[in-house]
A = this chain, B = another copy of it.
Amino acid sequence: MGRAVKIGVVGAGSAVYALGLVRDLCLAEHLYGSRVTFMDIDPERLEVVGQLANRYAEEMGVDLAFETTGERAVALRDADFVINTALAGGHGWEESWRHEAEKLGYYRGLRLQTNFHQYDLMLSLVRDMEELCPDAWLIQSSNPLFEGCTLMTRESPIEVVGLCHGFWGYRRLAEAIGVPSDEVQWQAVGVNHWIYLTQFRHQGVDLYPRIDQWIESESEDYWHEFRGGYGETQLSRAAIDHYLHVGLMPIGDASRTFSEWYYHTDLETKRRWYGYLGGFDSQIGWSRYLDRLAERVQHIHDVALDPGVRVTDAFPPERTHELQVPVMDAIANDRPGVYQVNVPNRGAIENIADDVVVEGKALVDGAGVHLLHVGPLPEKLMYTVLYPRVLKAEKELATYLSGDRDMLLSCVLDDHQTRSLEQAQQAVYRLLCLPWNEPLAERFGHEPLECDLGEYDLPDVDEIL
């Protein structure tokens, strides 16, 4: 029926992600006959994913071969698609560094990408792909997706498409204003996690006035009664306030509005803007997210390793909201479809540089990924959000590539939470001293980090004048 392909999955030990992928693949008849090679550095988690996948396909009676390997080259060799879900160090590294940064006065940690291991991993991956599967597509699915895809597409000829499910927030918005989410026409563009709703229609009628109406007449009740989960930021007071200031609705992760430091200064402020959990990114919301994730992973592990349970009973075959399988199907079988993707801009958003990876809709088919032209985004949005956001990404990438510690220090100084040079220097110092950051310390040199400009006796100014 369709083309059998080889799919290499890197960082496959993420059970939640792998389960979704297996379910979607088992429902993608045009990809039957394909072979999926899961690669991970953790043999135990890999074993779980392998069991789960094979049992799922067997119970469904579909022709898909799942295998596992600890060697990346095995997953990549002759692959048609490589899916990268790897997060170097997992949430553990992230949390330990956040903890260190909090000691220095950075509430919830620094607001910059400091896990440069992710860039090392991405670059080494595309370089390996150039050798082992130069014609394969890389489907990038882990963060930092925006910076990572921008970096890889500049440094390698490998075709990369970044996929993220954050854009589904438009559906939450449609539901709130009482329009069936399947019937809306929408466009949300920008860079990953910073996308804004530039079109929103139902049967040809602009829906923005209805959003405004919801804000006017329903939002207060919603916020007052809000007892939702950590992830429900789409209709938060912060998202609406942000919309009122920038002129377009932030969608999905954009409603976490990280460009706006003032929603995130402390828990009290976060709770004011995001409700009683303080949103996804407060200590409450985030720890709840990590707890739920751990529970879910444990449940998947238990099911995968329990021969007495049918995995298709525990996790019934339903399509997820993820786009990895539909996009692979569209490319492999030349079955055109329009999907939300992250690829180099190349003129689609006219006021963003060509070689920056942007997010928007694309027609995907056998010839590749063709971003739909957007035109210029409004000046107000550009100046308040996107120009600074792109500059921040460029600066962090240039810092990574240069290995220049002054630039790293400058990135930390840019953080609105930084109060003094010494605090920033301490943050850089401690970042480079983290046990798992040895390669980073090496990259940024070994000289003493404190900038000692010597003693200086401050005379009393009243005495002098």
Contact = CB atoms under 8 A, between A and B. Distances in A.
A383 B379 contact: no
Interface residues of A, number: 60
A276 B383 contact: no
Interface stretch (A111-119, A368-376, A450-458): A450-458
Interface string A411-435: 0011010111100100000000000
Nearest to A406: B245
Interface stretch (A121-129, A153-161, A386-394): A386-394
Nearest to A404: B380
A399 B380 CA distance: 8
B391 A276 contact: no
A367 interface: no
Most buried by B among A240, A379, A391, A418: A379
A224 B394 contact: no
A1 interface: no
Interface stretch (A52-60, A130-138, A264-272): A264-272
A459 interface: yes
Contacts of A244: 406, 451
Interface in A199-218: none
A461 B224 CA distance: 15
B223 A458 contact: no
B380 A276 contact: no
A47 to B, nearest CB: 35
Interface string A274-305: 00111000001000000000000000000000
16 contacts: A224-B457, A240-B453, A244-B406, A245-B406, A246-B406, A261-B413, A265-B420, A269-B420, A271-B461, A272-B456, A272-B458, A276-B458, A278-B461, A284-B465, A384-B406, A387-B391
